[in-house]
Amino acid sequence: MAHTTSQDPLLTWPKKYNEIPKAVFEMEELWPKELETIFYGEEWHPIVHRAEIPNPGDYKAAELGEMPIFAVHGEDGVIRVFQNTCTHRGTSLITESSGNKKELECPYHRWLFNLQGDLVGCPNSRDYSPSFDKKDFGLAKLRVEEFCGLFFVTMSDKTPPLKEYLGESFYEPLSRVLGGDGRLKLIGYQKVMYDCNWKAYCDNDGYHAPLLHKAFALLNWQGGKGVQNVSENGHLSFESELKIPDDITALEDGSILDFKGTETSTGSIVQMQFPVTVYSKHMDMLNIRYAFPKGPKGIEVHYAYFSHEDDDEEMVAHRIRQSSNLLGPCGLISMEDASVFSRIDKGNKTPGNAIFQKGVEDEHVLSFTVKQNDESGNLPRWEHYRKRMGFERSES
C-alpha cells in the first residue's frame, strides 16, 4: 500500500484545470487523508437547524467524518455540539437519531452530564485517581457558529469565521433558502444511501439539468435567467428564475408544481458548500441536504425539509406535497441524479481523466466566471480539493 510523504504523493494531478483523475473517485487510500485535511480540517460543516431541535432537551445525532457527535438544545436555550462519547471510558451517550432528554446519563458507570455538557455526577469518586477533577471531565465540545438558525461545526481553531468562510455571494442566497430569517419549522426527512464516493455525489453541475432531467422538457419547463457564483474555497451557488408554464399537459395534477412564492424568493437556488452539503430552494421547497460519507464508498444523505413559521395552513400543505414528490431519492425532478451518482462511480473504474468541457475557455486558467449552464463551476472546487490534499500538478 502507498504511504504518504511529499516525495511520494498518492496521486499526481493533470496539468489542465478541466481534467480530474478518475482514480480520485476510486482510491481507498485517499480517505484517511481526506478525513485529516478536509473533514477534521479548516472547513465548516452544518449539523443542525434550530427548527430540528426547537425545545430544551431536544437532541440530534450526526457524524463528522468518522466521529460520532450530537447537537443538543440546552436548558439555557443555547445549542451546543458535543462528541458522542462519555468522558470516562468512551461509551456513546446518544443511541437514537433524535429525541429529548433531561440529562445525559452514561449507563456503564452512571456518570451524569447536564445538557450543557458539565459532569454533574460520578459514583464513588472518592476512590478516583489523585488528579481527578470533575471540572476537567465535561463533554468534549466542538467549535460552533450559527447562521439563520443553522449550526455549523469545525474541528480547527484556524478555520476563519463562518461568514468570511462562506462569503457573501454564498451566505446571502443561503439566508433565503433558510426562509429569509431562519424562522423555520421542520416538516420531515428523507434519508438514503447513495452508492458512490462522496466526491461523485457533490460533483453535480449546471450543464446537466435540462438534459438529464426529462421532467424539465416534458413539462415544457424553461430555465429562466440565472447565475452561478463560485468561490476560491470551493463553494458554488446557482440561482435562477423559474418559468413554469401555465398549462402542464404532461401531468394530470399540475398544482404540484405551483410556485406560490414569498417576498424573499427567487424561483430556484441550489448551493453546494464544500465539502459535501447541498442547500436548495426550488419553488416552495426549503431543503438542507446533510451528507455523511461512509468511508471511501457510499454516502448517506439526509434531506431535511422545512416550512416557515409565518406560513398559513395551505402553504404548509403545499410545501409538504411538493417536497415529498419533487426532490429527494424518489423525486420527479431529482431521481435521475441519484442514478447518475452510482453510474459515475461505476464508469470511473477506468483509466484516465474525467474531462470537463462546457464553459471551459482556457484549460490552463482557472476561471471564476461561469454561466448558468456551464459545468466549469465545479473546477474551483476541485482545485480547492487538490490543494487541501497536497497533490502536485504534473508538468506536462
Contact residues: Fe ion, CB under 5 A: 337
Helix (H, G, I), strand (E, B) or coil at 158: coil
Which three cell numbers mark 259?
410556485
The whole-angstrom separation of Cα 382 and Cα 210 is 23
Please choose, out of 67-75, 106-114, 127-135, 140-148, the segment that lies near ligand FES by the rule CB under 6 A: 106-114
The interface partner of residue 108, options being ligand FES, other proteins, Fe ion, none and the CB cut-off 5 to 8 Å by kind, is ligand FES
Between 214 and 225, CB nearer to other proteins: 214
Residues at the site binding other proteins, with contacts judged by CB under 8 A? 97-98, 186-195, 212, 214-215, 218, 250-253, 256, 300, 305, 320-321, 323-325, 328-330, 332, 335-336, 338-340, 342-343
91 binds ligand FES (CB under 6 A): yes
Which one of 59-67, 82-90, 162-170, 205-213 is the stretch in contact with ligand FES (CB under 6 A)? Answer: 82-90
Question: Among residues 227 and 256, whose Cβ is nearest to other proteins?
Answer: 256
Query: Whole-number minimum distance, CB 369 to ligand FES, in Å?
Result: 54
Q: Which is nearer to other proteins, 229 or 307 (CB)?
A: 307
Beta strands in the chain (DSSP E): 19-21, 45-49, 58-64, 67-73, 79-83, 98-100, 104-105, 112-113, 119-121, 143-147, 150-154, 184-194, 222-230, 236-243, 268-273, 277-282, 285-293, 299-308, 353-355
- When the beta carbons of 19 and 337 are compared against Fe ion, the nearer one is 337
Among 28, 29, 78, 89, binds ligand FES (CB under 6 A): 89
Which partner in ligand FES, Fe ion, other proteins, none is near 394 (CB below 5 to 8 A by kind)? none
In terms of CB distance, is 117 or 331 closer to Fe ion? 331
Q: Residue 46 in contact with residue 150, Cβ under 8 Å?
A: yes
Q: Min. distance of Cβ 115 from ligand FES in angstroms?
A: 17
Alpha carbon of residue 249 to chain centroid? 35
Q: What phi, psi does 69 have (nearest 5°)?
A: -135, 170
Judged by beta carbon, residue 125 or residue 156, the one nearer ligand FES is: 125
Among 111, 171, 274, 356, the residue binding ligand FES under the rule CB under 6 A is 111
Helices (H), 237-334: 313-326
Q: Say whether residue 108 binds ligand FES (CB under 6 A).
A: yes
- Asked if residue 88 binds ligand FES (CB under 6 A), the reply is yes
Residues in the chain: 396
Q: Out of ligand FES, other proteins, Fe ion, none, which partner does residue 230 contact, by CB within 5 to 8 A per kind?
A: none
Q: Work out whether the CA dihedral 386, 165, 61, 327 comes out positive or negative.
A: negative
Strand partners for 154? 143
For 51, 238, 311, the CA distances from 198, given in Å and listed in that order, are 27, 20, 35
Give CA–CA dist 8/10, Å, rounded. 7
Q: Which does 193 bind (CB under 5 to 8 A by kind): other proteins, Fe ion, ligand FES, none?
A: other proteins
Cα within 13 Å of Cα(44), Cβ side: 24
Specify the residue, 9 or 298, whose C-beta has the smaller distance to other proteins.
298
Catalog residues that contact ligand FES under the rule CB under 6 A: 86, 88-89, 91, 106, 108-109, 111
